[in-house]
């Protein structure tokens, strides 16, 4: 599976309720060593929601200081964004990801 296959894909919980779309993928570089690259990457989790722009840009970090109207707006928009561990993904049917 490629990252482009995940981004924008709908995510539903175990009961079939829609949680939003995959907005970003968090990777960890802790796999087996590959010559010329380093350790392989693995998916740690997904940012799922309706809008995760502020999270992807780092605007919603607690220690970030910036124009307060922008940070306040982004934090408000990000309330429905959630982080889902990759281990919680139960499967996919080619169209959507289903959580356990």
Q: Spell out the domains of the chain, with CATH numbers in brackets.
A: 3-89 (2.30.30)
Tell me the average pLDDT across 8-35: 90
The model's confidence at residue 50, banded by pLDDT at 50, 70 and 90, is confident
d(CA 60, CA 57): 8
Burial per residue of 23-50, b for 16 or more beta-carbon CB atoms within 10 angstroms, e otherwise: bbeeeeeeeeeeeeeeeeeebebbbbbe
The model's confidence at residue 56, banded by pLDDT at 50, 70 and 90, is low
The angle subtended at Cα 59 by Cα 55 and Cα 60, nearest 5°, is 65
pLDDT of 57 reads: 64
pLDDT of 84 reads: 92
Instruction: Name the helix (H) or strand (E) containing 43.
Output: strand 38-49
d(CA 80, CA 52): 9
Which of 7-11, 32-36, 58-62, 66-70 bottoms out in mean pLDDT, i.e. has the lowest?
58-62
- Global pTM reads 0.69
Tell me the average pLDDT across 64-79: 68
């Amino acid at each position: 599976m490629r990252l482009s296959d995940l981004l924008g894909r709908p995510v539903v919980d175990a009961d079939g309720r829609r949680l939003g779309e995959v907005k970003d993928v968090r990777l960890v570089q802790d796999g087996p060593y590959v010559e010329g690259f380093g350790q392989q990457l693995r998916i740690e989790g997904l940012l799922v929601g309706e809008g995760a722009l502020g999270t992807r840009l780092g605007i919603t970090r607690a220690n970030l200081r910036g124009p307060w109207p922008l940070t306040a707006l982004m934090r408000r928009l990000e309330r429905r964004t959630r982080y889902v561990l990759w281990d919680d993904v139960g499967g996919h049917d080619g169209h959507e990801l289903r959580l356990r």
